[in-house]
Structure 1
Amino acid sequence: MSLTLTHIWAETLIDELSRLGVKHICIAPGSRSTPLTLAAVKQSQHPQRPVTLHCHFDERGLGYLALGLAKAGQAPVAVIVTSGTAVANCLPAVVESGLTGEPLIILSADRPFELVDCGANQAIVQRDLFSSHVTAQLDLPTPDAGMPLSALLTKVDQVLAHQAARGGSVHINCPFREPFYGERDAALEAEIRAPIANWYQSQQSYTRHHGRFSTPIERDSLPPSLPPDRPVKTVIVAGALPHGLSASVNRLATALNAVVLADPQSGITSTAPGYDLWLNHPNLQAQLSQAQWVIQLGGRLVSKRLGQWLAQTSAQYWLVTDNAQPLDPHHRAVEQCVVDKRHWSLWLDALTDQVRAACSTSEGLTSSADSPLVWQQTLTNEARAQMEKATDRLSPSLLSEHRLFQQLPTMLPEHVDIFIGNSLAIRLADIWSQLGAYPVFANRGASGIDGLFACAAGVQRCRRQPMLVVLGDTSALYDLNSLALWRETAAPAAMLILNNNGGGIFDSLPVDPQLCDAYYRMPHGLRFEQVAAQFSLNYQQPTCESDLAAALVQAFNTPGTDVIEVVTPAGEAGKILTEQLANMAAQEG
């Protein structure tokens, strides 16, 4: 009875998840999770709704692999882990998804009630393990013939409906009693399944939740105070955005003659790039502060200096997001517009139409020195000139991290996805790299350095495109286990590891250099050639720009994964950044 019932419960659960849109299931090894694993294997062979299975021996990496799949596919991804600390290892990925909305379904096997909190092996209290970091949780009972399968289905459907409405992770805890292995009772199985025979024969979920129907985007969906009835000086700040919005944002920017400041995650090109650097220029900051209207599209901004400017601007401030989650750490009074991810283009185009209609009845743009058009052109031209000076200060003979990011867009093929690690890497990309032509992925919710190789692997497994992964040496060391995921790839990949011997992000801290080395930077003296060999990955170590360009060409034109290690002196990147900021601050108009 117990064996047959346990497996039917697991199969019913996995089958329902596939009906609710799950196409990928990530599995870690474990015995207690055997019913879920075997159910997932069975579902992978379903003629109409097969799921793709992904395996990893490291649960922390597995969680991030699922995060990458969900990030790229915009659909729920299930994770199967066994009991005990295996579940806890999913917490970092769950935290990230709770902040950025990727839908993960954590399916944790558990010991039954009588084996918890009594000294039984591998048993911990798993209920509420993820606390407020999950959107919803379901603590199932041990499979019991007294509870009909219809109740299991409605409970699962309810949890997934919460997730569909709010995003983020859900946790379904599944306690199972042994045995897990052996022959099932076919007659008993038919008896248990009979009450939901219609569901088995259909291809639909048991409960069908219908969300709010979208209405056409009309003027009523925009805040009443703006758009203005005359042209105003406008800044569009583009944060983490759904892919494919470049044309709509550009139309709005053109209609407003706006300055566009685009984060690397946005898929948009800045009209005044390098703002994290030139905002240290007193005159340029003063000019930007003349803005009368700021439209921030999305959040999770990388630039600290842009965030500081937004905190002090007196402009009217719109914040456009895909849910009602606050994304303003400075707690400004804002007009927050919540727009479904599917309708961003429609909403932006509607706003553009409203702007054009409003401004067509005004006197229009003038050539006066104070007009929005002249303001935008003056600011843009001066910002570009200052960034050209900053670029000239980078030695072309030195393969510094700054020079690398400045030249990186010229070294990439036309079609490649980019995944950028946190800490120094994404900050330098924000300053120097114009990446608007490329899909860029990053983990900017909790901005951790964990799971980056694994998350990037999930993105590539979903999109099946060539990929460049750029991250620092400490981040790479933190997720070495997940290089195992890159031994087989759907398309060529390059792992660009910037090795400055420790946490270069800490170089600018105002602490004693010896303390910085010992307790912040933590130099390790390690290289990655033998690491690449351990995982059967190709390895290259370029020492100049031309060698790096050649290494990238080779990586993207050969199957598999190349580890490309660029070694730079410890402290160099921080020193260059400090000098560049000081040069900007010292500039006159």
Structure 2
Amino acid sequence: MTPSTMQARVVVDEWVRGGVREVVACPGSRNAPLLLALHAADAAGRVRLHVRIDERSAGFLAVGLAARSRRPVPVVVTSGTAVANLHPAVLEASHAGIPLVVASADRPLELVGTGANQTIDQAGLFGGAVRAAVVLPLAEERPRAAAGWRAAVCRVLDRARGTTTADPGPVQLDLPLREPLVDDGPEDDLPDWARGRADGAPWTAVAARVPQVAPLDLSAAVPTIVVAGHGAEAPDGLPDGVPVIAEPTSPLWGRSLRAGTQLLESALDGTRPDLLPARAVVVGRPTLHRPVSRLLSDPRVEVVVVPSAGETGARPGWTDVASSASRVGALPPPADWGVDVAWGETVRAADARVARVTGPDAGSAAGLAAAVVRTLPAGALFVVGSSSPVRDVALAAVPRADLTLLSARGVSGIDGAVSFATGAALADGRPAYALLGDLTFLHDSGGLLVGPDEPRPELTIVVANDDGGSVFATLEQGAPAHAAAFERVFGTPHGTDLQALCRAHGVAHRTVCAGDDAALAEALAPGGRPGVRVVEVAVERSTRRADADRRRDAARAAIGEPDIPGDVALG
């Protein structure tokens, strides 16, 4: 057995012992020992292997798998630019606290800087984006070598999980492999001295971390709102009388105010100063809404922050973009909160009035987002694109507590979205759904390319196709003053035939008219067999800004009405 083959088999074996259940791999020569070891482990039912030809898509497939399963997922690539193509996925995993393991095959150190083919200095390539960068020594046939390899794998998996550091995220495991890379021996053979522990346990067992953060004192009964952003842990409970503004990817979204951002705008601009909270409790990373950012910057509001527990969300510490946090701690039990019941009722009454008059146009992207959320079956996994779709869901859909929502909001890029959704759906195992914009879908159209022998989820991707990027229409660059430049450099129309693109990849495609709820419900009905389906819905881009302005004006008018006793939100 070649030393490189032995090292690869030991690494894969220790991954399995350490709880790895899914591995993504890309073809290559230098990573051949790992590929052969993974193929054997897949055939034996020890792991599930997913092969992709594009490293960028492979990276986001692994991120999606890890985001849903919360288990470390290695992505195995060959040397050179193959490793560099994982950088976007590594950044997303880093800022979202996702346990990704980059297993990069490498050339031996003596070849770096010599002009050898496909050789770069890739050890430490990801800098501070990874929690650790471990380089295995070149494989040698001696008993202590295998112990070192196994111990290193255990350390890598621990750093990815954040068990001892409360800091989960990506880790690079760089494996310089010397030729010969393959041999003709049995694929699952190892000498006795290279085998792991006889009981199948990891080489190094790591005890679970128990977070210990003192609870905040929230006993004062002042007007309080909870702001729940991406990556927030599900709290044990909140008092019933405390309003919540939650982003869709927060576990608190199901009890969120429907018009929370509009209420904040009116409170902050003085239209309804009685709606301004005296205290904002922040959990997770609020990233979607400018009124929330303004609230957290307002000196009239006390900002208290709940830090990440290290199991989901951002790196340890606390969210404080505006440098306004006055206290940091854990949430107290619901009974220990001071609740201003009258203020909470006033907020919910205003929220109910606004929600009744600010529905989106049926033919708009926001109308589609609301219809998709309304139509999904209870318990569904729903992956939402990071640009317009997640905002449309937040502003237009009725919150539902019976959905699991995921979105790549670590750095909020649109890259890798098809692969991320595929990975999440594979890890979930049930029929899953995604809502993506057309540019996001096209950016990762390579994610549709799946080999005939690869595992497939039952995934329905709804594409809101407005032939360009409509999110910019509601920002400063969408103002009439920039109309001459907008379409080319922000709108970026593409004219791509999505049906033809899907046909080329062997992916089922159908078109549904915007506003046709019956056809949408039929298209979203579970198909009962694995595979990706694309449902394309044409929506109007040119009216997005006007529709947003109309809803904003309607909200202001409704908020200005006198309070009606008992007029509270039901959704």
- Normalized against structure 1, the TM-score is what? 0.85
Q: 2:214 aligns with which of 203, 209, 221?
A: 221
Aligned twin of 1:577: 548
Equivalent runs, 1:533-572 vs 2, <5 Å = 533-546=503-516, 548-558=517-527, 559=529, 560-572=531-543
Q: 2:428 aligns with which of 463, 468, 471?
A: 463
Q: What CA distance in whole angstroms lies between the structure 1 residues aligned with 2:346 and 2:171?
A: 50
Question: How far off is 1:300 after superposition?
Answer: 4.1
Q: Aligned to 1:469, what secondary structure does the other structure show?
A: strand
Q: Aligned to 2:230, what secondary structure does the other structure show?
A: coil
Equivalent runs, 1:81-92 vs 2, <5 Å = 81-92=77-88
Q: Greater helix share, 1 or 2?
A: 1
Question: How far off is 1:333 after superposition?
Answer: 2.4
Equivalent runs, 1:490-505 vs 2, <5 Å = 492-505=458-471
Query: Aligned AA for 2:461?
Result: M
Q: 2:489 aligns with which of 510, 513, 519?
A: 519
Per-residue Cα deviation, 1:151-180 (whole angstroms, up to 9, x for no partner): 222233233333333210100111112222
Distance 1:333 1:555, change over 3 A: closer
Q: What CA distance in whole angstroms lies between the structure 2 residues aligned with 1:11 and 1:407?
A: 49
Aligned twin of 1:169: 170
Aligned twin of 2:246: 262
Aligned twin of 2:409: 444
Per-residue Cα deviation, 1:207-252 (whole angstroms, up to 9, x for no partner): 223354567xxxx8213xx132x53222112223567x48x43xx2
Equivalent runs, 1:149-548 vs 2, <5 Å = 149-165=146-162, 166-184=167-185, 193-195=191-193, 199-213=196-210, 221-223=214-216, 226-228=217-219, 230-241=220-231, 245=234, 248-249=236-237, 252-254=238-240, 257-268=241-252, 269-281=254-266, 282=269, 286-289=273-276, 291-312=277-298, 314-320=300-306, 321-323=308-310, 324-337=316-329, 351-355=333-337, 372-391=340-359, 394-395=360-361, 398-433=362-397, 434-485=399-450, 492-511=458-477, 512-546=482-516, 548=517
Per-residue Cα deviation, 1:111-141 (whole angstroms, up to 9, x for no partner): 1123222222211110111110000011223
Q: What CA distance in whole angstroms lies between the structure 2 residues aligned with 1:84 and 1:489?
A: 27
Q: Aligned to 2:265, what secondary structure does the other structure show?
A: coil
Question: How far off is 1:53 after superposition?
Answer: 0.7
Contact 1:415 1:466 in 2 (8 A): no
Contact 2:30 2:177 in 1 (8 A): yes
Per-residue Cα deviation, 1:246-289 (whole angstroms, up to 9, x for no partner): 8x43xx231xx211112101133245212234433346762332
Q: What CA distance in whole angstroms lies between the structure 1 residues aligned with 2:20 and 2:109?
A: 29
Q: What CA distance in whole angstroms lies between the structure 1 residues aligned with 2:523 and 2:207?
A: 49
Distance 1:144 1:242, change over 3 A: same
Q: Aligned to 1:152, what secondary structure does the other structure show?
A: helix
Contact 2:429 2:457 in 1 (8 A): yes
Q: Aligned to 2:325, what secondary structure does the other structure show?
A: coil
Query: Aligned AA for 1:578?
Result: D
- Structure 2 residue runs of 5 or longer lacking an equivalent are 311-315, 562-571
Aligned residues, how many?
537
Distance 1:529 1:449, change over 3 A: same
Distance 1:183 1:561, change over 3 A: closer
Distance 1:78 1:51, change over 3 A: same
Q: 1:119 aligns with which of 115, 118, 132?
A: 115
Query: Aligned AA for 1:5?
Result: P
Task: Compare 327-336 and 479-488 and name the one that shifted more.
Answer: 479-488
- Normalized against structure 2, the TM-score is what? 0.87
Question: How far off is 1:144 after superposition?
Answer: 2.8
Q: What CA distance in whole angstroms lies between the structure 1 residues aligned with 2:407 and 2:284?
A: 14
Q: What CA distance in whole angstroms lies between the structure 1 residues aligned with 2:286 and 2:49?
A: 31
Distance 1:507 1:410, change over 3 A: same
Query: Aligned AA for 1:21?
Result: G
Identity %: 25
Q: Aligned to 1:545, what secondary structure does the other structure show?
A: coil
Aligned twin of 2:565: none
Query: Aligned AA for 1:528?
Result: L
- Structure 1 residue runs of 5 or longer lacking an equivalent are 339-347, 360-364, 366-371
Q: What CA distance in whole angstroms lies between the structure 2 residues aligned with 1:211 and 1:562?
A: 40
Distance 1:516 1:71, change over 3 A: same
Q: What CA distance in whole angstroms lies between the structure 2 residues aligned with 1:490 and 1:121?
A: 35
Contact 1:117 1:124 in 2 (8 A): yes
Aligned twin of 1:369: none
